[in-house]
Structure 1
Amino acid sequence: MSSEQAPAEPAKSIRAVFDAADVDGYLHVRELDGDGEVEYQGDAPVVLASVFKIPIALEYARQAADGRLDRAGRHLVTDADREGDGIGTDGCRHDVEMSARDLTHMMMTMSDNAATDVMLRLVGRENVRATLDELGCRDTSVTGCKELFASVMLDLGIDPTAADAQEKMAALTPDQCRGLRVRDPERTASTTPREITKLLAAIWRDEAGPAEACAEVREIMGRQIWPHRLSSAFGDEIRVSGKTGTLWGVRNEAGVVEYPDGKRYAVGVFLRSESMGFRLPRADAAIGLAARTAIDHLRG
């Protein structure tokens, strides 16, 4: 059923999930092998945060499948790529050499920011943009991670080279965080929930590039290590492949949920919270619960 035809009940139930978690929520869920969909503010612009790494992974896989990029080619992650306090190679103290495939794996499974910037530079931002345009995802944009956090420093008037830069970042007040441009979909990498599920549907249907490329993105997304958002509402018998996104007051996940009966659902859930904390368990759980509410409706 179309979003216009959808009865009010699923939207009411989804809103209740978001209200209980004290967040503003935006959701789109679509069947991958049918026409059913459920949405709640599904066409509103939303901040992507690290969900923007999905298009980068897709561009890597397309170039690898076409022979334009060597999956095993070695690339160096240096201090120029690292923030120095992140996860994966982003938190390493020394240079790291990895293959293009493994950098993509780190980017997607644990959201490694340094690996992301190496891969974006390798595949070319203009090529990511061209692929998104080709797939009709013109409202979806990407950025570099160091670029994103440099904008935060600029907004706050912090010199990133100063010895106390990280100390000042750790001492941010909620009011300082609320005004950051990285929280504004008009000024940072953004999408709509409907468009991100369109992209996921193309990947899962082998329509986003060569079948080999789409399969590689699916395989890598299926290895994500974070179980506390989308997958929190589904048992082990249900396969969940996803990509999280986190910024101050922003909690996201986009992915695909696959049931043992073969039915598959693309999901995009994007939350905004008044709390600027990085541990928001109710908000995290609301992503899975809202997705499950929508999928249960589609499954009838």
Structure 2
Amino acid sequence: MSSDQTTADPAVTPALAAIFADAQAEGFVHVRDLDGPAEVSHRADERVVLASVFKIPILLEYARQAAAGHLDRQARHTVTAEYRMGGSGSDGCRYDIELSTRDLAHLMMSISDNAATDVLLDAVGEANVRATLDALGFPGFGVSGCRALDLPVRRELGMADGADFDTCVARATEEEIRQLSVRDPARVPSSTPREVADLLAAIWHDRAGTAEACAEVRAVMARQVWQHRLTSGFEDGVRIAGKTGTEFGIRNEAGVVTYPDGRRYAVAVFLRTRSMAERDPRADAAIGRAARVAVDWLRG
């Protein structure tokens, strides 16, 4: 943290801790004013599993290449069974479908479509995503394809080839789920809340690419449909552009909150929950509550 930045007063940390305790979760937070020096931090420099938050730099690389004319937004890509693991969007399609490059990015961010993510990652090149993150000063920000994360889970739970993923997970014990490598920030894409918020700041200030590229990232992130985490903490009229991330016992969201007066706040909230349940509404709501507490302090 640079010397001209300001951390929150001591009252904010207990408020955040109480929110996370009520949700039976560990919380990691960094929220910064994008138009001033103030910030709120709570375990902001500890490494956390990104889950689908790692899709933000994939989107950024797509937008940079498209703005530079190296990638055609209208080019057609086929989402085949090789990419489909079951889930939202094209992930749950029974037959092959064709999408434009731009629509792959849209589905990746709006509904966290994993198949679209991997097709897009193949198009932009994972090495290029890594090189861009390194060049921007984010060497610790992890990135991966979704299949690369799914396959170890299948192996660790002893799933037979072709076995239904959800059925096998439902049969696993809680301890087997807790031991999965996908929950370990040392073994899967990870970062820190501070680094994630700093990447968002670079995008919102047009430092992560050209103005055209950064504007496209912001526009695509504003189309996320989920209302149960970050958005749940803010009333109508406050604009939210974000990306969720979910794994076993892990619930995240990173995004930018923009108020009607134009003030903007980069928010990164990561949770590790005690429960391994697929549904955990208290934890989901805690993300919005924590973000609101931090933003309210920053607004003074």
For this structure pair, what is the TM-score category when the shorter chain's length is used for normalisation?
over 0.9
Answer yes or no: is the 8 Å Cα contact 1:103–1:119 preserved in 2.
Answer: yes
For residue 298 of structure 2, what is the aligned residue in structure 1? 298
Task: Provide the rounded CA distance (Å) in 1 between the counterparts of 2:193 and 2:172.
Answer: 29
Relative to the length of structure 2, the TM-score reads: 0.97
For residue 233 of structure 1, what is the aligned residue in structure 2? 233
Number of matched residues? 298
- Identify the match of residue 63 of structure 1 among 62, 65, 69: 65
Task: Provide the rounded CA distance (Å) in 2 between the counterparts of 1:162 and 1:241.
Answer: 36
For residue 139 of structure 1, what is the aligned residue in structure 2? 140
Answer yes or no: is the 8 Å Cα contact 2:157–2:168 preserved in 1.
Answer: no
For residue 13 of structure 2, what is the aligned residue in structure 1? 11
Answer yes or no: is the 8 Å Cα contact 1:2–1:37 preserved in 2.
Answer: no
The one-letter amino acid paired with 2:41 is E
Structure 1 residues 54 and 29 mapped into 2: Cα distance closer, same or farther (>3 Å)? same
Deviation at 1:6, TM superposition (A): 3.4
Listed as ranges, the gaps of 5+ residues in structure 1 are none
Answer yes or no: is the 8 Å Cα contact 1:3–1:39 preserved in 2.
Answer: no
Deviation at 1:170, TM superposition (A): 2.7
For residue 211 of structure 1, what is the aligned residue in structure 2? 211
For residue 274 of structure 2, what is the aligned residue in structure 1? 274
For residue 30 of structure 1, what is the aligned residue in structure 2? 32
Runs of 4+ in 1 over 4 A off after TM superposition: 1-5, 162-166
Structure 1 residues 97 and 162 mapped into 2: Cα distance closer, same or farther (>3 Å)? closer
Structure 1 residues 38 and 165 mapped into 2: Cα distance closer, same or farther (>3 Å)? closer
Task: Provide the rounded CA distance (Å) in 1 between the counterparts of 2:21 and 2:6.
Answer: 23
For residue 252 of structure 1, what is the aligned residue in structure 2? 252
Task: Provide the rounded CA distance (Å) in 2 between the counterparts of 1:5 and 1:252.
Answer: 22
- The alignment partner of 1:251 has SS state of strand
Task: Provide the rounded CA distance (Å) in 1 between the counterparts of 2:59 and 2:6.
Answer: 33
Task: Provide the rounded CA distance (Å) in 2 between the counterparts of 1:167 and 1:259.
Answer: 43
Answer yes or no: is the 8 Å Cα contact 2:240–2:255 preserved in 1.
Answer: yes
Task: Provide the rounded CA distance (Å) in 1 between the counterparts of 2:255 and 2:222.
Answer: 9
Deviation at 1:5, TM superposition (A): 4.8
The one-letter amino acid paired with 2:207 is E
Task: Provide the rounded CA distance (Å) in 1 between the counterparts of 2:288 and 2:57.
Answer: 22
Answer yes or no: is the 8 Å Cα contact 2:7–2:38 preserved in 1.
Answer: no
Answer yes or no: is the 8 Å Cα contact 1:51–1:253 preserved in 2.
Answer: yes
Task: Provide the rounded CA distance (Å) in 2 between the counterparts of 1:282 and 1:113.
Answer: 25
For residue 40 of structure 1, what is the aligned residue in structure 2? 42
The one-letter amino acid paired with 2:89 is G
Task: Provide the rounded CA distance (Å) in 2 between the counterparts of 1:162 and 1:57.
Answer: 30
Task: Provide the rounded CA distance (Å) in 1 between the counterparts of 2:264 and 2:200.
Answer: 11
Answer yes or no: is the 8 Å Cα contact 2:157–2:172 preserved in 1.
Answer: no
The one-letter amino acid paired with 1:284 is D
The one-letter amino acid paired with 1:45 is R
For residue 265 of structure 2, what is the aligned residue in structure 1? 265
- The alignment partner of 2:11 has SS state of helix
- The alignment partner of 2:267 has SS state of strand
Answer yes or no: is the 8 Å Cα contact 1:25–1:269 preserved in 2.
Answer: yes
Task: Provide the rounded CA distance (Å) in 1 between the counterparts of 2:194 and 2:254.
Answer: 11
For residue 75 of structure 2, what is the aligned residue in structure 1? 73
Structure 1 residues 210 and 158 mapped into 2: Cα distance closer, same or farther (>3 Å)? same
Task: Provide the rounded CA distance (Å) in 2 between the counterparts of 1:219 and 1:7.
Answer: 33
Answer yes or no: is the 8 Å Cα contact 1:252–1:269 preserved in 2.
Answer: yes
CA offset digits 1:164-220 (Å, max 9, x no partner): 665323312211110011100000011100000000001111110010010001001
For residue 150 of structure 1, what is the aligned residue in structure 2? 151
Task: Provide the rounded CA distance (Å) in 1 between the counterparts of 2:12 and 2:4.
Answer: 13
CA offset digits 1:241-296 (Å, max 9, x no partner): 10000111000000000001110000000000111111100000000000000011
Task: Provide the rounded CA distance (Å) in 1 between the counterparts of 2:239 and 2:116.
Answer: 26
Task: Provide the rounded CA distance (Å) in 1 between the counterparts of 2:227 and 2:165.
Answer: 32
For residue 178 of structure 2, what is the aligned residue in structure 1? 178
Relative to the length of structure 1, the TM-score reads: 0.97
Task: Provide the rounded CA distance (Å) in 2 between the counterparts of 1:253 and 1:166.
Answer: 23
